[in-house]
Structure 1
Amino acid sequence: MLTRDIGIDLGTANVLIHVKGKGIVLNEPSVVAIDSKSNKVLTVGHEARRMVGRTPGNIEAIRPLKDGVIADFDITEAMLRYFLQKIGVKGLFTSPRILICCPANITSVERKAIIEAAEKSGGKKVALQEEPKVAAVGAGMDISQPSGNMVVDIGGGTTDIAVLSMNDIVTASSIKMAGDKFDYAIGNYIKNQYKLVIGDRTAEDVKMNIATVYPQGRQEQMDIRGRDMVSGLPRTITIHSEEIYTALAEPVSNIVMASKSVLERTPPELSADIIDRGIILTGGGALLHGLDKLLSDELKVPVLIAEDPMACVANGTGMMLENWDNYIN
């Protein structure tokens, strides 16, 4: 039996796995439910995510990745092992070659932890690639030519911004400001304005359904439920898109500033290419309403959303697996 090559987008919010020749075979939340008394893993992925904030004291729903890097090594290893067994790529006598993605600018210790977790979960040979580079390939950008390509990859834990040329990163920045921080900002705003405590899932629903980061970009409203901080009882309120625009102003401005900083450090010839080609937005955060228009206004460059932004990194690993020797040393 031939060794299977697999690509893993090990995200703070979701894990996507691409098997060479099959495409994306798994897309599940990066959540593990464990019994804190016995330290036993109960379930992983979708089932575990349904338990977040809804379990008795002895069951913990844990997200083992924080800000794009491993926060809990053992649970990350257990999660990867579970997913690899689920998709059945590990045979009796064979182990897959794994291409795994990491944020740009992470430390050598963090890199080693990711490689070690993948090896311990069953990988024969593990290679690491920076997320913005893989996202650019997955978005259909030709980064092999001597011309400038810019990608802004907004995930759950980090936003990776990079200018690429000749199959490599020219300038890059990675900031811990992404989907999770958007959810936190929404929850915090509602807590301060309405004295209502809402869960992470509710904040995420608000972000996906009525949020906008562009002035007058969306005029919608939504009923949300939570716990009243004064009475301690359940309460329902109605919130509007304009309020979420206010709540997200600060985290989004950090992404704009980081993007400006990368452009300022880019050689002028490559900057000229970016004006022609535009900037590509990838990752789940690319779907945040009005973000493409806001970045275009602020950076004075066309900004386009990739065709399937959430799958760009996983698709990119698939393309790199096809050309393992070209991309992976």
Structure 2
Amino acid sequence: MIRPPDNEMNTMSERLYIGIDLGTYQSTVMSSEGVMTTIETVVGKPKDPVARNFLGRDVVFGEDAIKHRLACNLFRPLEHGVAQDDEENLSAAKAFVTHLIENCDPEEYDEVLGVICSPSHISFTDKTNLVSILRGLVNGIMVVSEPFAVAFGLDQIAGSIVVDIGAGTTDIARIYGTFPTDEDQVTIEEAGDWLDHRLMDLINKKYAGAQLTQSMVRRWKEEGSYVSDDSHEFMVDLSVDGKKQNVDIGDLVRLACNELVPYIVEGVKNIVAGADPEYQSVLRNNIILAGGGSLIEGLADRVAQHLADIGDVTVWCAEDPVVRVADGALKLASAMPDEMYTSIE
């Protein structure tokens, strides 16, 4: 049972609030004590006893796992922000989330309450897995959609459309002063990972024999992504059949990023069309882009151009978009009454 934070039973110093954004590529936790940590959502387990002795640990996370990936079996246990439904990945997810939350020193507090953010549509199995992963780490949880957390953190819940472009999914929701329903939200698969694979395909097609990994392509995307009618030069070192080449992939980056725009626009149009007609103008004029994908240069203007046929629109990008979800989750955690939390002790 969640204990009320009154003077007789609890004080604020004995209760810790945390906001968590569990992402496919990276995850962020923020606490009411000022802790903020972002870790790549990857778990590494040593391949054999030699690797175990070399690493000195049974499991490594984030950058350490990537650094020692040849000595480890790697797991990316959070698919679209929720745990994959098999024992091995659930175990890896539990280890990862434990490591993430330990950054907040939860053992120093009598009670830990957390707001966990998920994609807009999450199944019963997904919620069950989340509870299983978090049991023993927090006393109570509340699961909210990523777009709502963004809007709450930005004080934009009075009327907005939030487009959260993550790695695994793009989540779009209309927000109008209350928790959004399933009908207020849409999740599409075209997001950061989709863009990585599209760019990889384009590079392989242009440079036959190119030796690529998704992490290489992701890094290039993060460094040089843009939408435009004109190509910008973007030179990278590429290994083709084992030979180093310095090539320009600027036109391919532009093409891949431009291809993402129609999916976002279609999702926003559907969200607008499903709203109360007297409220549609308010929503159209407060469209917020967040998540790592919102860092694509020129994206807000391009989305606005493609939405012009539905009326006047205003599209803007949130500052520090990668941490907006966790920030909103933390603000929500301390603002909600205890009865909004589900006890998982």
TM-score, L = length of structure 1:
0.87
For 1:201, the aligned partner's letter is: S
Asked if structure 2 preserves the Cα contact closer than 8 Å seen for 1:18 and 1:318, the reply is yes
In structure 1, the partner of 2:218 is 204
Contact 2:15 2:112 in 1 (8 A): yes
| Residues paired across the two proteins, number | 312
| Contact map agreement 2:28 2:326 (CA 8 A) in 1 | yes
- Other-structure match for 1:27: 38
Could you list the per-position Cα deviations for residues 233-252 of structure 1 after superposition, in whole angstroms to 9, with x for gaps in the alignment? 24324124222122334343
Choose from 106, 110, 118 the match for 1:102.
118
Shift of 1:41: 4.0
Percent sequence identity over matched residues? Answer: 24
Q: 2:212 & 2:166 partners in 1: Cα distance?
A: 22
- SS across alignment from 2:60: strand
Counterpart position of 1:290: 298
2:269 matched residue in structure 1: 260
Residues 50 and 140 of structure 1: is their aligned pair in 2 closer, same or farther, counting only changes over 3 Å? farther
Give secondary structure in 2 for the equivalent of 1:257.
helix
Q: Is the contact made by 2:121 and 2:186 (CA closer than 8 Å) also made in structure 1?
A: yes
Give distance in 1, aligned partners of 2:29 and 2:282: 32
CA distance in 2, matches of 1:327, 1:225: 55
Tell me the amino acid that sits aligned with residue 139 of structure 2.
K
Q: How many angstroms apart in 2 are the aligned matches of 1:173 and 1:79?
A: 28
- Cα RMSD of the aligned pairs, angstroms, is 2.2
Does 1:325 pair with 2:334?
A: no
Q: Report the counterpart of residue 112 of structure 1 in structure 2.
A: 128
SS of the aligned residue for 1:169 comes to coil
**1:81 pairs with 2:98:** yes
- Higher alpha-carbon Rg: 2
In the TM superposition, residue 165 of structure 1 has moved relative to its aligned partner by 1.0
- Counterparts of 1:133 and 1:307 in 2: how far apart (Å)? 16
Which residue of structure 2 lines up, in the alignment, with residue 64 of structure 1?
77
Q: What secondary structure, in the 3-state scheme, does the structure 1 residue paired with 2:197 have?
A: helix
- Match for 1:242: what amino acid? D
Counterpart AA for 1:26: T
- Gapped regions of structure 1 (runs ≥ 5): none
Q: Could you tell me which of 273, 297, 316 is aligned with 1:304?
A: 316
Pairwise CA distance, 1:255: 2.1
What pairs up with 1:1-329 in 2 under 5 angstroms?
2-22=14-34, 24-37=35-48, 41-52=58-69, 55-56=70-71, 59-71=72-84, 72-91=89-108, 94-120=110-136, 122-141=137-156, 143=157, 145=158, 148-169=159-180, 171-195=184-208, 196-216=210-230, 219-226=232-239, 228=240, 232-275=241-284, 277-300=285-308, 301-325=313-337, 328=340
Give the AA of the match of 2:264. I
Q: Matches of 2:298 and 2:98 in 1, distance apart? A: 38
Q: Secondary structure at the match of 2:218?
A: helix
C-alpha contact 1:132 1:162 (8 A) present in aligned 2? yes
8 A contact 1:139–1:307 mirrored in 2:
no
How far apart, CA to CA, are the structure 2 residues paired with 1:325 and 1:82?
27
Deviation at 1:123, TM superposition (A): 1.3
Could you tell me how far 1:280 is from its partner in structure 2? 0.6
TM-score (norm 2): 0.84
2: CA distance, partners of 1:219 / 1:69: 37
Go from structure 1 to structure 2 and tell me whether the alpha carbon gap of 1:176 and 1:68 turns closer, same or farther (over 3 Å shift).
farther
Take 2:171 and 2:79, find their aligned partners in 1: how far apart are those partners? 15
Give 3-state SS (helix, strand or coil) of 1:4's partner: strand
User: Relative to 1, partners in 2 of residues 1:324 and 1:207: Cα closer, same or farther, differing over 3 Å?
Assistant: same
Partners of 1:190 and 1:197 within 8 A in 2: no
Is this contact kept in 2: 1:154–1:281, CA < 8 A?
Answer: yes
Seen in structure 2, the aligned counterparts of structure 1 residues 99 and 313 have a Cα distance that, compared at 3 Å, is same
Unaligned runs of 5+ in 2: 1-12
Q: Distance in 2 between matches of 1:66 and 1:168?
A: 24
